[in-house]
Amino acid sequence: MAEYSAYHRRSVEQPQEFWAEKAALIDWHRPFDRVLDAGRKPFAAWFPGGLTNLCHNAVDRHLATRGAQPALVWESTEVDRSRSYSYAELHQEVQRMAAILLRHGVGQGDRVLIYMPMIPEAVFAMLACVRIGAIHSVVFGGFAALSLATRIDDATPKMVISSDAGSRAGRVVPYKPLLDEAIERATHKPGHVLMVDRGLQPFTPLPGRDLDYAAERAAVGDREVPCAWVEATHPSYILYTSGTTGRPKGVQRDTGGYAVALATSMRDIFCGSPGGTYFCTSDIGWVVGHSYIVYGPLIHGMTTVLYEGTPVRPDAGILWRLAEKHRAQVMFSSPTAVRVLKRFDTAFMRERDLSSLERLFLAGEPLDEPTASWIAEALGKPVVDNYWQTETGWPILGIPAGVQALEPKPGSPGVAMPGYKVGILDELSGEPVPPGQKGVLAIEWPLPPGCMQTVWGDDKRFVDTYWSTFATRQVYSTFDWGVADERGYVTILGRTDDVINVAGHRLGTREIEESISSHAAVAEVAVVGAADELKGQQAVAFVVPRDATRAASAEARAELAAQIMQTVQAQLGAVARPARVLFVSMLPKTRSGKLLRRSIQALCEQRAPGDLTTLEDPTALEQIRGALVSQP
Ligand code: ATP
Ligand code: MG
């Protein structure tokens, strides 16, 4: 591991030199005075004094060499359309959008809330904002009115950019009524709502407030809008964490550090080639979409694919057909998406010519070994897990194949990425624990470039939430459990609030889930701890079988449940054996595909499931409720 070790050591021991070098990967209008301003710990200001612009780095600087290369390719299986924009065309569309913003008084530092489906105009809007120094806040399209209202009040946008509707699995999801209701509920009122009318759902514009994008676009014509040079520390965007565990936090990101971090990651982690195609199946509403649909690939001069649709419609081969069609070099998806595909035939992948594809990256949730090897085998390509958070904006753990092609370790996302001084700390003392021992995954100050600057509008919450876990030392807590081995590979054992205490034994839900997933009949599983009078807590498992007939009768369920319990007992011991194994056909997840364990746990304990605004499909919770009652 010599090359990687030297690289990583330098990144954390000589961060100034390391990041000064990486800063050369992007364009600066004025060089920075210093690499890092350490004057306000635990805050970190990267590249102070430097002037740059994200849109310039993502679009304008490529015009001379890549003007005709496709920059943005849009594919929609929802409305059966596709479109491609070259860098020159993207430049033009972004300027038009920027001209519309300027025309209606949006300026540097103003917030613009983007509530959009996965259409090219959403990308134009993001790039247009950063072009003029406005701060975007993308809210996942179709989010409930209440979630949207709290985000409007938190970011106080001058303008909202939206659309008549999105579409999900072939059904139109009207956005306008949700948006109108959200603005109605919110205390803050945006001055204008710019509506991109897709013709999916008729609506009545509100005179004086609502603007029509097509008319505005025609009115601004081909006006040139130069990039506004902003301080490297100028906020580029606010993005709320997905809200799996509580009140959403507005993660505030800078400009210069973010561009440098993404450029670094594109080379050292994702190994993309300028001119190649990057296909990330996430949504622009999530951090993965911000970093690896929009900014990362474009900064790196790649072609990025924006996909509106699901992985299984019209059939389970769609992602691979698109990868073949656009000759994707790098793909990025989530374990959830792969687990959905696992229920289908691998012929969907084998039939495609994926010779251009080098690696499939997966992030967002623990990647269990069976799922990883299933997809790796079906594709015949390396599958690379990577671990990060909305807060960090780019991977904390992974395999830096661009530096050294380290062997991946099953069940582990990998080793620390550059600039991250990762520690596994004892939850009480805050002292580092030896390899092989479980602890809280923490990061020492400073967080590297690209990570959150603060909680939007609430510096105190930033310090209190992230930097105050341990009395003895001020470190950033990820709130995830981890265990490192001698070589520095870290395995994530779940969130610190997802620990089950069975008769004094503390067990990570992740460990039990991993064990259950190793049973061949299991497609997906969620394990929660439910209060138990005798043992404190007991583990309850909700299993989605790969083949529904395995849970079709009481006898079949009892048989499979017994096998699953036996599997866990054999692998982890009797304490970890779930007290109940119940069967459902889907699990409750957030719209970003994360298990809503706290709601499942609440139902197990006969409590109210809590805030459900981020829940993807309410019937999944009904199934949990039903299983608890009908299955012994
Ligand atoms: P909130 O913080 O509001 O509860 P969230 O944590 O679900 O929401 P994200 O920032 O999208 O929001 O998710 C980051 C978390 O996802 C990580 O802290 C970790 O728990 C989990 N995660 C992400 N990638 C991986 C991975 N590769 N392996 C294991 N867990 C992962
Ligand atoms: Mg989180």
User: Tens digit of pLDDT for each residue in 67-110?
Assistant: 999 999 999 999 999 999 999 999 999 999 999 999 999 999 99
Residue 246's pLDDT band, with cuts at 50, 70 and 90, is low
366 alpha carbon – ligand 2 mean position (Å): 13
Q: State whether 172 and 133 are in the same domain.
A: yes
404: helix, strand or coil: coil
pLDDT tens readout for residues 517-550: 999 999 999 999 998 888 889 999 999 999 999 9
Q: Closest Cα to atom 23, ligand 1: which residue?
A: 364
pTM across the whole model: 0.92
Say if residue 471's pLDDT is above 70: yes
Q: How far is the CA of 529 from the centre of ligand 2 (A)?
A: 20
Both 469 and 532 in one domain: the answer is: no
pLDDT on residue 279: 98
| Region 367-375 average pLDDT | 93
Distance CA 447, CA 420 (A): 7
Supply the Cα-derived Rg of the chain in whole angstroms: 24
Domain that includes residue 538, residue range: 498-630
Ligand nearest to the CA of 490: 1
Residue 623 belongs to some domain of the structure: yes
Q: Which one of 424, 446, 479 terminates a domain?
A: 479
- Ligand 1 atom with least separation from CA of 594: 7
Confidence category of residue 504, pLDDT binned at 50, 70, 90:
confident
**Ligand 1 pocket check for 495: Cβ under 6 Å:** yes
- Residue 35 located in a structural domain: yes
Same domain as 539, residue 394: no
Confidence label for 357 from pLDDT (cuts 50, 70 and 90): very high
Residue 269: predicted pLDDT: 98
Q: What pLDDT score was predicted for residue 245?
A: 61
CA distance 223 to 211: 19
For the Cβ of 594 lying below 6 angstroms from any atom of ligand 1, the answer is yes
* Average pLDDT estimate for 553-573: 94
Q: Are residues 450 and 512 in the same domain?
A: no
Residue 516 lies in a domain: yes
The pLDDT of residue 502: 84
Total residues found in the chain within this entry: 632
pLDDT reported for residue 378:
95
Q: How far is the CA of 619 from the centre of ligand 1 (A)?
A: 24
Mutate to test the pocket of ligand 1, among 151, 239, 241, 462 (most ligand atoms within 8 A of CB): 241
Among candidate residues 422, 445, 479, the one where a domain is terminated: 479
CATH code of 216's domain: 3.40.50.12780
Q: How confident is the model at residue 242 (pLDDT cuts 50, 70, 90)?
A: low
Which protein residue has the closest C-alpha to ligand 1 atom 29? 366
Residue 106 shares a structural domain with residue 200: yes
Per the domain annotation, does 584 fall within a domain? yes
pLDDT in tens, 161-187: 999 999 999 999 999 999 999 999 999
pLDDT band at 57 (very low <50, low <70, confident <90, very high): very high
Q: Note whether residue 135 is domain-resident.
A: yes
* Average pLDDT value for the chain: 95
Q: Report residue 148: phi and psi, to 5°.
A: -65, -40
Measure 615 CA to ligand 2 centroid, in angstroms. 16
The packing angle between helices 87-103 and 120-132, to 10°, is 60
Residues 506 and 445 both lie in one domain: no
SS3 at position 496: coil
Instruction: Specify whether 528 is located in the same domain as 620.
Output: yes
Q: Is the shortest distance between the CB of 244 and ligand 1 below 6 Å? A: yes
Indicate which CATH number applies to the domain containing 532. Answer: 3.30.300.30
Ligand 1 pocket, residue 179 CB under 6 Å: no
Residues 442 and 544 in one domain: no
Domain edge (last residue) among 479, 506, 527: 479
- Judged on CB neighbours under 10 Å (0-12, 13-18, 19+), 113 is buried
For residues 82 and 213, membership in a common domain is answered with yes
Residue 469 has pLDDT above 70, yes or no: yes
3-class SS of residue 85: strand
Q: How far is the CA of 538 from the centre of ligand 2 (A)?
A: 25
Helix (H) or strand (E) holding 513, with range, is helix 509-517
- Count how many domains the chain has: 2
Q: Is residue 111 part of a domain?
A: yes
What string of DSSP letters covers 208-277?
TTEEEHHHHHHHHTT---PPPPEETTS--EEEE---SSSS--EEEE-SHHHHHHHHHHHHHTS---TTSE
DSSP secondary structure letter of residue 489: -
pLDDT at 243 over 70: no
pLDDT above 70 coverage of the chain, percent: 99
283 lines ligand 1 (CB under 6 A): no
Cβ of residue 509 lying under 6 Å from some atom of ligand 1: no
Q: Answer for the pair 25, 61: CB distance below 8 angstroms, yes or no.
A: no
Ligand 1 in reach of 480 Cβ (< 6 A): yes
- Do 134 and 213 share a domain, yes or no? yes
Residue to probe by mutation, ligand 1, list 151, 283, 389, 456, most atoms within 8 Å of CB: 389
Q: What is the pLDDT of residue 609?
A: 85
Same-domain check for residues 178 and 130? yes
Q: DSSP per residue over 532-550, as a string? A: ETTTEEEEEEEEEESSGGG
Q: Tell me, letter by letter, the H, E, C secondary structure of 579-619.
A: CEEEECCCCCEECCCCECHHHHHHHHCCCCCCCCCCECCHH
**Using a 6 Å cutoff on CB, does residue 363 contact ligand 1?**
yes
Instruction: Provide CB contacts within 8 A for 34, sequence distance 6+.
Output: 16, 47, 48, 49
Ligand nearest the Cα of residue 509 is: 1
| Cα 140 to ligand 2 centre (Å) | 16
229 assigned to some structural domain: yes
Q: What would the pLDDT profile of 425-452 be if each residue is shown by its tens digit?
A: 999 899 999 999 999 999 999 999 999 9
418 CA to middle of ligand 1, Å?
A: 19
Best CA proximity match to 503, nearest among 439, 576, 570, 568: 576
399 occurs within a structural domain: yes
pLDDT in tens, 100-120: 999 999 999 999 999 999 999
Task: Give the confidence band of 244 by pLDDT, cuts at 50, 70, 90.
Answer: low
Considering the domain architecture, whether residues 430 and 502 belong to the same structural domain is answered as: no
Structure confidence at residue 199 (pLDDT):
98
Question: H-helix or E-strand containing 87?
Answer: helix 87-103
